[in-house]
Amino acid sequence: MNAYELQALRHIFAMTIDECATWIAQTDDSESWRQWENGKCAIPDYVVEQLLAMRQQRKKHLHAIIEKINNRIGNNTMRFFPDLTAFQQVYPDGNFIDWKIYQSVAAELYAHDLERLC
Protein backbone atom coordinates (compact mmCIF):
# COMPACT_ATOMS: atom_id res chain seq x y z
CA MET A 1 0.00 0.00 0.00
CA ASN A 2 1.32 3.43 -0.86
CA ALA A 3 0.66 6.82 0.71
CA TYR A 4 -2.11 7.69 -1.78
CA GLU A 5 -3.94 4.43 -1.13
CA LEU A 6 -3.63 5.02 2.62
CA GLN A 7 -5.20 8.45 2.23
CA ALA A 8 -7.93 7.10 -0.04
CA LEU A 9 -8.97 4.45 2.46
CA ARG A 10 -8.96 6.97 5.30
CA HIS A 11 -11.31 9.16 3.28
CA ILE A 12 -13.53 6.24 2.25
CA PHE A 13 -14.10 5.51 5.93
CA ALA A 14 -14.51 9.22 6.75
CA MET A 15 -11.88 9.04 9.45
CA THR A 16 -9.59 11.78 10.69
CA ILE A 17 -5.88 11.24 11.05
CA ASP A 18 -6.32 11.21 14.83
CA GLU A 19 -9.05 8.55 14.59
CA CYS A 20 -6.85 6.40 12.35
CA ALA A 21 -3.92 6.71 14.73
CA THR A 22 -6.15 5.64 17.62
CA TRP A 23 -8.35 2.96 16.07
CA ILE A 24 -6.25 1.50 13.26
CA ALA A 25 -2.63 2.06 14.27
CA GLN A 26 -3.67 1.88 17.95
CA THR A 27 -0.89 4.25 18.96
CA ASP A 28 -2.45 7.73 19.28
CA ASP A 29 0.60 8.86 17.28
CA SER A 30 -0.98 11.14 14.67
CA GLU A 31 2.38 12.40 13.47
CA SER A 32 3.41 8.90 12.34
CA TRP A 33 0.16 8.61 10.38
CA ARG A 34 0.87 11.96 8.70
CA GLN A 35 4.34 10.73 7.74
CA TRP A 36 2.86 7.56 6.22
CA GLU A 37 0.37 9.63 4.22
CA ASN A 38 3.12 11.97 3.05
CA GLY A 39 5.24 9.01 1.96
CA LYS A 40 8.04 9.91 4.37
CA CYS A 41 7.94 6.58 6.23
CA ALA A 42 6.92 3.05 5.32
CA ILE A 43 3.43 2.04 6.42
CA PRO A 44 3.65 -0.78 8.99
CA ASP A 45 2.32 -4.14 7.85
CA TYR A 46 -0.20 -4.34 10.69
CA VAL A 47 -1.76 -1.03 9.56
CA VAL A 48 -1.97 -2.24 5.97
CA GLU A 49 -3.53 -5.52 7.12
CA GLN A 50 -6.14 -3.71 9.25
CA LEU A 51 -7.11 -1.37 6.42
CA LEU A 52 -7.31 -4.18 3.88
CA ALA A 53 -9.52 -6.15 6.28
CA MET A 54 -11.77 -3.09 6.66
CA ARG A 55 -11.91 -2.69 2.88
CA GLN A 56 -12.84 -6.36 2.49
CA GLN A 57 -15.55 -6.10 5.15
CA ARG A 58 -16.94 -3.00 3.42
CA LYS A 59 -16.97 -4.80 0.07
CA LYS A 60 -18.78 -7.76 1.64
CA HIS A 61 -21.47 -5.48 3.12
CA LEU A 62 -21.90 -3.63 -0.18
CA HIS A 63 -22.34 -6.84 -2.15
CA ALA A 64 -24.82 -8.27 0.36
CA ILE A 65 -27.00 -5.18 0.22
CA ILE A 66 -26.79 -4.92 -3.56
CA GLU A 67 -27.85 -8.57 -3.77
CA LYS A 68 -30.91 -7.77 -1.64
CA ILE A 69 -31.69 -4.79 -3.85
CA ASN A 70 -31.38 -6.92 -6.98
CA ASN A 71 -33.70 -9.52 -5.46
CA ARG A 72 -36.08 -6.80 -4.22
CA ILE A 73 -35.74 -7.85 -0.60
CA GLY A 74 -36.37 -5.01 1.80
CA ASN A 75 -37.47 -1.46 1.23
CA ASN A 76 -34.20 0.04 0.02
CA THR A 77 -33.67 2.18 3.09
CA MET A 78 -30.66 2.01 5.32
CA ARG A 79 -30.10 3.46 8.77
CA PHE A 80 -27.55 6.24 9.04
CA PHE A 81 -26.11 6.64 12.51
CA PRO A 82 -24.94 10.15 13.46
CA ASP A 83 -22.59 8.82 16.13
CA LEU A 84 -21.15 5.68 17.67
CA THR A 85 -23.66 5.69 20.53
CA ALA A 86 -26.62 5.56 18.12
CA PHE A 87 -24.94 2.74 16.19
CA GLN A 88 -24.33 0.74 19.37
CA GLN A 89 -27.97 1.05 20.39
CA VAL A 90 -28.83 -1.07 17.35
CA TYR A 91 -25.57 -3.04 17.16
CA PRO A 92 -24.47 -3.41 20.80
CA ASP A 93 -21.43 -5.52 19.90
CA GLY A 94 -20.27 -3.01 17.27
CA ASN A 95 -17.18 -0.90 17.83
CA PHE A 96 -15.87 2.32 16.29
CA ILE A 97 -14.40 0.53 13.26
CA ASP A 98 -17.66 -1.39 12.65
CA TRP A 99 -19.54 1.92 12.75
CA LYS A 100 -17.17 3.57 10.25
CA ILE A 101 -17.46 0.62 7.85
CA TYR A 102 -21.26 0.66 8.14
CA GLN A 103 -21.42 4.42 7.53
CA SER A 104 -19.10 4.11 4.52
CA VAL A 105 -21.36 1.46 2.99
CA ALA A 106 -24.48 3.53 3.66
CA ALA A 107 -22.94 6.64 2.08
CA GLU A 108 -21.73 4.69 -0.97
CA LEU A 109 -25.15 3.14 -1.61
CA TYR A 110 -26.85 6.50 -1.15
CA ALA A 111 -24.37 8.17 -3.53
CA HIS A 112 -25.35 5.67 -6.23
CA ASP A 113 -29.07 6.15 -5.50
CA LEU A 114 -29.39 2.51 -4.46
CA GLU A 115 -30.55 3.19 -0.90
CA ARG A 116 -32.34 5.93 0.95
CA LEU A 117 -31.03 6.86 4.36
CA CYS A 118 -33.21 7.05 7.43
What single DSSP character describes residue 75? Answer: -
> What is the reported pLDDT for 116?
87
- pTM reported for the whole predicted model: 0.83
Q: How many residues does the chain have?
A: 118
Mean pLDDT, each 10-residue run in order, the chain (118 residues): 97 98 95 97 98 96 85 78 96 97 94 87
CA-only gyration radius of the chain, Å: 15
- Amino acid code (one letter) for 43: I
Indicate the class that CATH gives domain 3-117: mainly alpha
> What is the reported pLDDT for 13?
97
Residues 66, 71, 72, 76, Cα dihedral to 10°: -10
Specify whether the CB–CB gap between 81 and 43 falls below 8 A.
no
CA 109/CA 41 separation, integer angstroms = 34
3-state secondary structure of 77: strand
Specify whether the CB–CB gap between 70 and 44 falls below 8 A.
no
Specify whether the CB–CB gap between 78 and 109 falls below 8 A.
yes
What are the structural domain ranges in the chain?
3-117
> What is the reported pLDDT for 102?
95
Going by their DSSP bridges, the two strands 77-78 and 116-117 should be labelled as: parallel
